[in-house]
Amino acid sequence: MNEIAAQSLATQPWLSLLTFLPLVGAFGVALRQMLAKRDANGEISAAEIAQIDTVARNVALLFTLGAFIVSVFIYFAFYDPSVAGYQLVETAEWLGGGVSYKMGVDGISILFVLLTTFIMPICVLASKTIDKRVPEYMIAFLIMETLILGVFCALDLIVFYLFFEASLIPMFLIIGVWGSKGTKELGGVVMSSRVYAAIKFFLYTLLGSVLMLVAIIWMWRYAGTTDIPTLQQTAFPEGAQKWLWFAFFASFAVKMPMWPVHTWLPDAHVQAPTAGSVVLAAILLKMGGYGFLRFSLPMFPLASAEFAPFIYALSIIAIIYTSLVALAQEDMKKLIAYSSVAHMGFVTMGIFTGTKQGIEGGLFQMLSHGFISGALFLCVGVLYDRIHTREISAYGGLVHKMPFYAFLFLFFTMGNVGLPGVSGFVGEFLTMVGAFKANSWIAFFAAFGVILSAAYALRLYRQVMYGDLAKAKLMAIADVDARELTMLGALLVFALFLGLYPKPALDVFAPSVDLLMSNFDAALAGAAGAP
């Protein structure tokens, strides 16, 4: 009896429940605001606005935490990490003609689901300093969580594309409405720089994605379905694989972002509010790497192998060039943004080596970068909330006033450098091992990135934290409060744990990566064996 009950419990649409849970919260916030406005008949006092805002914050926190708890519950109750294939699969009729609503997770996606649900409550907490249009802001974040979870859970290409593209909309609004002030002159027209960043973000990613859409349609025609597991078993003709690979590459390279299509990222990061930067760095960028692993490698193995040197070249350029660019930045957020591009270079390099260490390292690097870069943007946010500038030169000597902050910032800086003991090291090391197996020169050049990352990260830390506390504005600066400590502490625990003991995460990756590898190698061997 109990077994039957457990069985039926396990076959519930858990992933859909998880995915759409934040959306329910968004509706809740919207409804509350509408009712409040109706009651007030258009005239709302400041006290009432403050009350609506508080409710919106609490509801958002409740639902993001709820999603986190549900995702952890799903992981421990129903997910079996020793199984390689897709789990918790649910299917429903949708468009017909081979397109259905299908969700499921495997070792590659489940940890991204958990990362998303983990980062989101932190983002809500980090948004304490948002003071205008709070309910809309929270709605945008909740909707974004739904869309991101959808991306990682979708097992149908059209469903995936839907979530993937739709996630642009809330981010576009978050950057544009709640972004920082300042103007920019562009071709004689003065426009707000956050608007510029939002538009650039939107159009860049859209342009990358529409090419993928055409490729998806082509695959739909060829295979008669957009079911991802089926497509992963489909052998596309070698000539077509190249074109399809490039179309998918256009989308994921922009999202990742890879050099030379990374230029939207620094703009978007600088202009976005702190929580927006955190989501962008910690989760949205991971969609690119996830896409490479979910689609490019398994569906177009021949093209992936053929174009691997191309990816290596771009990755190496990203690692070295953007590290050098980061070294020259005057804006803290820009510096971290460029360092993100460099770190994503390790990910693409690792993934396309086609080795177990490379792929696992890429996955691990993405996970760890989610904690560390998210935390770094939070650290910048802590300073920005107090002093309202991101200029590195405006700071100095903070260690005297902010000892706790100094410790946390140092920890995450070390994580960014890739110091052993912090999760950043494991990912970088594994991708380098993978690269070394593929071609030792790649590893040789990538190693420069490790050195350069130490240079820019330590320079940032030294200029902001050390030296004399000379600037008048900094005299009264307060150390981190309980809220900030909670957010950064939670991230620290995970970054440290995974750095010291990466096995749990690697064990989750392993079965799915092994399956991916064996299919990949079989496809290459099949092509080599064919006349």
Catalog residues that contact other proteins under the rule CB under 8 A.
93-97, 136, 158, 161-163, 165-166, 168-169, 172-173, 176-177, 192, 194-195, 198-199, 202-203, 206-207, 210-211, 213-214, 217-218, 220-221
Beta carbon of residue 37, minimum distance to other proteins (angstroms, whole number)? 8
Beta carbon nearer to other proteins, 70 or 169: 169
Cβ closer to other proteins: 107 or 150?
150
Q: Name the packing angle between helices 157-166 and 193-223 (round to 10°).
A: 180
Residue closer to other proteins (CB basis): 9 or 203? 203
The CA distance from 275 to 292, in Å, is 26
Residue 481, number of CB atoms within 10 A of its CB: 11
What is the rounded CA–CA span in Å between residue 303 and residue 330? 40
CB of 47 to other proteins, least distance (A): 20
Q: Which is nearer to other proteins, 221 or 503 (CB)?
A: 221
Task: State the nearest-atom distance from the C-beta of 288 to other proteins, in Å.
Answer: 18
Single-letter amino acid, residue 385: D
Measured from the CB atom, the residue of 37 and 386 that comes closer to other proteins is: 37
d(CA 135, CA 53): 6
Terminal C-alpha separation, the chain: 57
Q: Is the dihedral of CA 394, 400, 402, 404 positive or negative?
A: positive
Could you tell me the smallest distance in angstroms from the CB atom of residue 420 to other proteins? Answer: 43
Q: What are phi and psi of 159, to 5 degrees?
A: -65, -45
Minimum Å gap between C-beta 166 and other proteins is 5
Calpha distance 415→420 (Å, rounded)? 8
Residue 156, strand partner residues: 227
Query: Is the bond preceding 260 in cis, omega lying within 30 degrees of 0?
Result: yes
Shortest gap between Cβ of 202 and other proteins (angstroms)?
6
Residue of 107, 178, 36 lying closest to 512 (CA atoms): 107
Min. distance of Cβ 117 from other proteins in angstroms? 21
When the beta carbons of 170 and 502 are compared against other proteins, the nearer one is 170
- Smaller CB distance to other proteins: residue 136 or 514? 136
CA distance 88 to 518: 23
Q: How far apart are CA 512 and CA 82, in angstroms?
A: 9
